[in-house]
Structure 1
Amino acid sequence: MSRVRQVQVTVDCHDPRAVADFWKAVLGYVDPPVPDGFASWDAVEASLPVERQGAAAVAQDPDGVGPRLYFQRVPEGKTVKNRVHLDVRVATGLTGEERVAALEAEAARLEALGGHRLHLLPADGEDEACLVMQDVEGNEFCLD
């Protein structure tokens, strides 16, 4: 029997905070809790290197029922690439080779269902590895 997978919806945009604020208002979502050691999300942003400030924002269901929404700044406008794609959470909490193995196993299962593997984005010291795929109509999504 298959099990339900948790997803995160990721939106590519030019102004992550403005887009996140819009979707929080639409859905009744909220900012996640501020990380320990910071008084506010503005303080978190100020602690980042200048090139990373404003690069991402998050909105989440306050009841934890709906998917987390992640908004990331990209330089290009919408042309061919999806502006919204799903991140299917199959390796949450895993790192290194264990994470890649979990991503690969899920990719193999999805290929059998008609999905297409595009490429593995290896861990880079800031982000863990993820695997980019396409669904049966060519829409991109990530195994995360």
Structure 2
Amino acid sequence: MRLLGPALLPRVARMASVRQVQVTFDSTEPERLAHFWCAVLGYEVPTPPDGFAPWTDYDASLPAESQGRAFVCADPTGAGPRLHFQRVPEEKVVKNRVHLDVRVGTDLEGDERLSALQAESDRLVALGAAQVKVLHADGVDESCIVMQDIEGNEFCLD
């Protein structure tokens, strides 16, 4: 596949600038999955709209077909992307085409890195995640651990 360089992009495309990214997950239980990822990443659930104390009050104000349809969590520092979870009727059945890398082993190598990754894996397994496999350093890439969240979405501890 040939990537377009800046000179080949239309003028309008070159002028656009992305300032924020939101990552959206299909889910069967959006709120539950959002709380899982809050615990993984140290994210928080934003405050509900004005006039609603807990999110459950806001959700109850929606039409029945919209209740429980979506939930979000966000990085309290504003540095990371917002995560949006939307209810879909079907279960996950194939490997993700896109996944998150949770960066816990940055600047670590060898046994020290693998130990840090395994400690985080153990913490996440206690939250309901599953460890799928450990990929050991091969001389080119450092070790990482492939995980699944509580709905089976793959992510890596890197």
TM-score normalised over the length of structure 1: 0.52
After the TM superposition, which segments of 4 or more aligned residues of structure 1 sit over 3 Å from their partners? Answer: 1-5, 79-85
Structure 1 position 47 matched with structure 2 position 56? no
Give the corresponding residue for 1:71: 85
Cα separation, 1, equivalents of 2:95 and 2:61 = 31
Distance 2:43 2:51 in 1: 23
Distance of aligned partners of 1:30 and 1:76 in 2 relative to their CA distance in 1, 3 Å threshold: same
Deviations 1:48-98 (A, max 9, x none): 11111111000000111100000000001223595868xxxxxxxxxxxxx
In structure 1, the residue corresponding to 2:58 is in which secondary structure? helix
- Give me the identity figure in percent: 62
Unmatched segments (≥5 aa) in structure 2: 1-5, 7-13, 100-158
Q: Could you tell me whether the CA contact under 8 Å between 1:10 and 1:84 is conserved in 2?
A: no
Higher relative contact order (CA 8 A, sep 6+): 1
Q: Does 1:60 align with 2:74?
A: yes
Q: Could you give the per-residue CA deviations for residues 26-58 of structure 1, whole angstroms, max 9, x where no partner exists?
A: 011111122111112111011011111111000
RMSD: 2.6
**Kindly tell me: are residues 55 and 6 of structure 1, through their superposed partners in 2, closer, same or farther at Cα, counting changes over 3 Å?**
same
One-letter identity of the residue aligned with 1:69: L
TM-score using structure 2 length: 0.48
Which AA in structure 1 matches 2:61?
S
Alignment gaps of 5+ in structure 1: 86-144
Please list, as runs of the form range in 1=range in 2, the aligned pairs for 1:1-144 lying within 5 A after superposition. Answer: 3=17, 5-79=19-93, 82=96
Structure 1 stretch displaced more, 71-80 or 49-58: 71-80
Alignment: residue pair count = 86
